[in-house]
Amino acid sequence: MKTLISFFRLALALALSSAAPGSVSAAEAVAGFPGEVIEEVIVPVPSEIFTVMDKLGRPDWRSELRTTKTPTFSNRVDVALLLGSVVAEGFIAVEAEDKDAVERIGKDVLRLSESLGLKETVLPHTNSILEASKNNHWEIVRVELDKTQKTVRDTMEQRRDTELGQCVSLGGWLRGTDAVTSLIAKNYSSDAAELLNQPDIIRHFQKELKKLAARHGKLKALLDGLETIAGVIGDGDETPGAAGVQTIHDTAVRLVRSITTSPPATR
C-alpha cells in the first residue's frame, strides 16, 4: 500500500478517525480512515473532505453551490464525468443544508444514472436522500451520497466498465477541488492548503486518462488541466501558497465547466 496522501495525515491530526455508518471502505482497515482504494491509491470518501473543511472553520458552503441546469449528454464518458460532478455537488448542498438543492441534485443523479443503465441500483439511495433531506437528517443524506458513489463504482466494475467508473471519480474529485480551493483562496491558511497535497491521486487520474484521452477530446483537455495542477502540487512536499491555490482553483473551475457545459450546437 502506498504512503497515505497528506490529506489523510491532516485528517488524522484533526482526530477524524471514524466514518459515518455505511461509508467505511477497505481503506479504513488499512489506514484507519475512510476512503476508496483504487489501484493502491487512496481516494477520500467525498463527505470526509467536507468534514475536514468544517474542522478548519465554518465555510460558507452555500456560496459554492451551482444553480445552472444540468445538461443532457448522449456520450457515456460525458455522462459519467457529469455524474461524478453532480454527486460532489450533492455534498456541497448537504453542507449548505439546502433542501431544494438536494432535491434537484437527487433527481439529476437518478437521471444520469439511468443514462448509464444504473437506475435500479441507485434508486434506493436517491429515495433515501430525498426523504432524509425533507426531515433535516443531513448525516443520513451524507451516508446515502457516499453509498451512491460506491454503488456506481462497484456496479461498473462488475460490468467491466471500469473506465467509466474512473470518469465518475474524476468528475467528483474535480468538483470537490473546485469548491474547496474556492473557500481556501478566500481565506488562505497553510493548514487548509495542506488539504490539496494529493500527488498520488493526481498521478492516478493522469495514468487512467492517458488510456482514454485518445478516444475522447474532452478527456485530453482534462489531462492537460491535471498536468497544470500536478505542476503546483509537485511531490506534495510543500504546502501550496496562496498563488498556487488560486492556480489550482482556476484550473478546476475550467475543467468542471468543460464537464458540465453542453457543446455549442452545430449548424
59, part of any domain: yes
Query: Does residue 100 fall inside a structural domain?
Result: yes
What pLDDT shows up at residue 55? 67
Question: Is a pLDDT exceeding 60 seen at residue 37?
Answer: no
Task: Report the percentage of the chain scoring pLDDT > 90.
Answer: 39
Query: In this predicted model, what pLDDT tens digit does every residue of 61-100 receive, in sequence order?
Result: 899 999 888 999 989 999 999 999 998 999 899 889 999 9
Say if CB 77 and CB 164 are below 8 A apart.
Answer: yes
Regarding beta strands 35-38 and 41-44, do their DSSP bridges make them parallel or antiparallel, or are they unpaired? Answer: antiparallel
Say what the pLDDT of residue 50 is.
Answer: 65
Q: Quick check: 5 pLDDT over 60?
A: no
Check whether 104 has a pLDDT greater than 80.
Answer: yes
Domain enclosing residue 68, as ranges: 6-260
Does residue 266 fall inside a structural domain? Answer: no
Judge whether 267 lies within some domain.
no
In the structure, what pLDDT confidence band is assigned to residue 43 with cuts at 50, 70 and 90? Answer: low
Query: How buried is 226 (Cβ within 10 angstroms: 0-12 exposed, 13-18 middle, 19+ buried)?
Result: buried
* Domains: count for the chain: 1
* Residue 255 placed within a domain: yes
Q: Which is higher by pLDDT, 6 or 161?
A: 161
- Map residue 259 onto helix, strand or coil: helix
Closest CA to 143 of 156, 155, 154, 131: 131
pLDDT in tens, 124-161: 999 999 999 999 999 898 888 888 878 887 888 788 88
- Domain for residue 1, yes or no? no
Question: Could you tell me if residue 209 is inside a domain?
Answer: yes
Q: What is the pLDDT of residues 226-248, one digit of tens each?
A: 999 999 999 888 999 999 999 99
Indicate whether 265 belongs to any domain: no
pTM listed for this prediction? 0.81
Task: Write out pLDDT tens, residues 44-61.
Answer: 555 666 666 666 677 888
33 burial type by CB count under 10 A (0-12 exposed, 13-18 middle, 19+ buried): buried
- Sequence-distant (≥ 6) Cβ neighbours of residue 257 within 8 angstroms: none
pLDDT at 27 over 80: no
Distance of CA 100 to the CA centre of its chain: 21
Q: How many CB atoms sit inside 10 A of residue 120's CB? A: 10
Q: What per-residue confidence (pLDDT) applies to 166?
A: 85
Residues 228 and 252 sit within 8 Å (Cβ to Cβ) = no
| pLDDT tier, 18 (very low <50, low <70, confident <90, very high otherwise) | very low
Report pLDDT digits (tens) over 185-205.
998 989 889 888 888 889 888
If one compares 24 and 132, the residue with the highest pLDDT of the two is 132
